[in-house]
Every structure is written in C-alpha cells, then in structure tokens.
Amino acid sequence: AAATTTAAVARSAWRRKGGGGGGGGGGNEAGNCENGDVGQNTIGEKTREFFQMCDIENKGFITQRDMQRLTAELPLSAEELENVFVTLDSDGNGYLTLNEFSSGFSEFLFGRKISFAEEARKSPAEVLYQSQWEENEARGGEDEEEKHFSMLMESLGANSVFEDRAEVRSLWAQLSRDEPDLLSNFEDFLARVTSQIREANQEKKEMESALQRKAATHDDQIQHLYEEMEQQIKTEKDRIVLQDCERFLSLSLDPERQLCYERERWQLSQKQKRLEAECRELQSDQHVTKVENVKLKHKNDELAQELDQTSQELMVAQEQLNLLQEQSTQLHEDKEIEIYRLTEGLQRERASLLKQLDLLR
C-alpha cells in the first residue's frame, strides 16, 4: 500500500509540475513524441521541484511534518503521505535530504519502469483504470493483513478466548504499521496470555466436572446405603416379631427358654445400637462430603478471580503499549524539532560569521 501511494504521489507531482496533462491537446502530444521517454536530467529537475514544494523554509531537508503540507495540494490523506515518507526514509533517521529524496524517488520510478512521458500520453480512461487498480491493490493489502491476523489467532487457538477480538486486532495492526519491532513481543505476550486463559478455563471445567461426578456418585452411595439399612431394619423387625410370638407361647412352659430369650433380646438391642451408630457415621460422612463440596466451590471461585485478573493484566499491558507508542512519537517529534533548531542556529551562526568577514574586509 505504501509503494502504491508513492507511485500516486510521483505521478500527481509530475502532472502538477508540467510532466504531462490530459488537456494539453495536440501540442503536448507532439512534444512528447519528439522527446520520447523523459531523460535523467528532466527527472532530476522535477524531483527537485517536488522537494521544494515540501521544503518551503529552504532547510535543505524535509521531515514527515513537511510532507503533511501537501495534503491540500495532492489528492492524498495524511496517512498516505506518511507512508510515502516512510518508504523514502530508508535509513530511518526521520528526515530526507535532497540527495536521499532524489535517489529514492528515482529508484522507485526506474525500478517499476514508470515513464513520465507515457503517463502524459495516457487517456482519461487509462488513468481511471490505473487508479481503480491501485485502490484494489490497497484493499488487497488490508485483506492480506486480516488473513495474517486470522492465521495468528488460529495458530494460538485464541479465536474463542477473547471477548473483544476487534480490540486485539486493532492493537496488532497498529503495532505492525507503527512499531514493527515490538510486534514479535506483542505476539509472544498474546500467546502467553492465551495459554494462561485456556489453562484456567480447562482447569475450571475439570473442577466442575469432577465436582459433579463426585456429588452424583456420593448421592448414589448414600441412597443405596439408606435402602440397605431400611431393608435390614425391616427384616430384623419382622424376625424379632416372629420370634417374640413363638417364644411368648413357650415362656410359660420353659423358664430356661425365657432366660435365653432375654439374652437374645439384649443381643438384638446391642445390634440395633450398632446399626444406629453406623447410621450416624454415614450422616457424618455426608456432612464431610458437603464440606468438601464447599471447598471445591471456593476453589472454583478463586479460579474465576484469577481469570478476571489475567484479563485485567492484558488490558494494563495494552495501555502500557499505547503509552510506549505515544512516548516514541513524542521523542521522534522532539528530535525533529531539535534538528530543526540546530539547523537554524547553524545558519544564523554562518550568517553572523559571513557578516563579520565582510566587516573585516
């Protein structure tokens, strides 16, 4: 997209400075036919004229802010002009000298075999077609960026992790354009956060599943034990009633049997007490299980809090990245201002020295 924008600026500057025009008529066409392709000297002249459009203070260099002055003169947005500057600023020092500007501009033109004379001879329909092609190229770049981001999110397994995917997409796109050296750090951070969130969610699901299984198993065991105890008590009562009836009939006949009956009755009483103690023990186990369930619920709540805290840390990290970007932009602007001030100071000192030399002469 930046290269396409640079080409658009080159052609627009050429047309504005006399390189070619759609309404020149037969005179222009005859001149173009005589001259053929534009020579190196003509390209250098037009490049210097375009440089002067930016360097209205005659500093000898132009900054990114100087490029923004062309917004009213060229059919380009501020962001597109910024992309042009970044494309030409190959050494990344934040400003362009005439030599850097000319060599970068000419290299771009010759590298793509763009002929200013051919541009001048293009019909309006050809110009419209090329403009539409460039717009399609720009949209293709955005589609490629979205495809790259989608592949990244899919490789991390983060498509279903973040609630606001658009916010992460916006931050990633901004870093890829403005701070590409921080992009790998951000992707590593995104991978770690995604992994932590997925692990927390997985642990939460496992705890919930284990809690449900344990509760269901415990309820089944308690119900089964209660049914067994009720059946045993009923069977024992029936047996005791039957024995009482049988022995009641024989008590009057055999005193020794009466003693045996009393002894068995005492044994049955002891057995009943033992069964009651087992029942109380089961109830105690049920209470312990309830306490464990409460502990598991507390653990589940703690995991949910950790998940919220991780999300908060992600938001804080995003804010810190935005702050770093703002600080980087401010430092870049301060550097431009300092260079501009230094250049002005040097020019003033040079003028003062020249005046002193004139006085000495």
- Please spell the DSSP secondary structure of 331-353, one letter per residue: HHHHHHHHHHHHHHHHHHHHHHH
What does the pLDDT look like over 169-180, one tens digit per residue? 788 888 888 877
Please list, in sequence order, all residues whose beta carbon lies within 8 angstroms of the beta carbon of residue 204, skipping any fewer than 6 positions away.
Answer: 300, 303, 304, 307
Token couple for 128? 């419209």
Q: Pick 101 or 40 by higher pLDDT.
A: 101
Q: Residue ranges of the domains in the chain?
A: 2-122, 180-307
Residue 330 has pLDDT above 60, yes or no: yes
User: Domain spanning 2-122: which CATH class is it, in words?
Assistant: mainly alpha
For residue range 115-171, what is the model confidence (pLDDT) as tens digits?
A: 333 444 444 444 444 454 455 445 555 667 777 778 888 777 777 677 667 777 788
CA distances in angstroms from 97 to 17, 104, 223, 314, 329, listed in the order given:
20, 10, 89, 42, 21
Q: How many Å apart are CA 351 and CA 41, to the nearest integer?
A: 32
Share of the chain above pLDDT 90, in %: 2
pLDDT of residue 249: 62
C-alpha pair distances (Å), 74 with each of 6, 11, 15, 56, 105: 12, 10, 11, 16, 17
Other C-beta atoms closer than 10 Å to the C-beta of 134 total 17
Q: What b-and-e string marks burial along 148-180, b requiring 16 or more CB atoms within 10 Å of the CB?
A: ebeebbeebebeebbeeeeebbebbbebbbebe
What percentage of the chain exceeds 70 in pLDDT?
Answer: 71
As a whole number of angstroms, the distance between CA 71 and CA 253 comes to 127
Confidence (pLDDT) at 103:
74
For residue 27, pLDDT over 50 is answered with: no
pLDDT in tens, 266-304: 999 899 999 998 888 888 888 888 888 899 999 889 998
Structure tokens at 174: 């901004």
Alpha helices in the chain (DSSP H): 2-16, 25-35, 40-54, 64-67, 78-88, 98-111, 116-121, 124-156, 165-178, 180-251, 255-360
d(CA 50, CA 52): 5
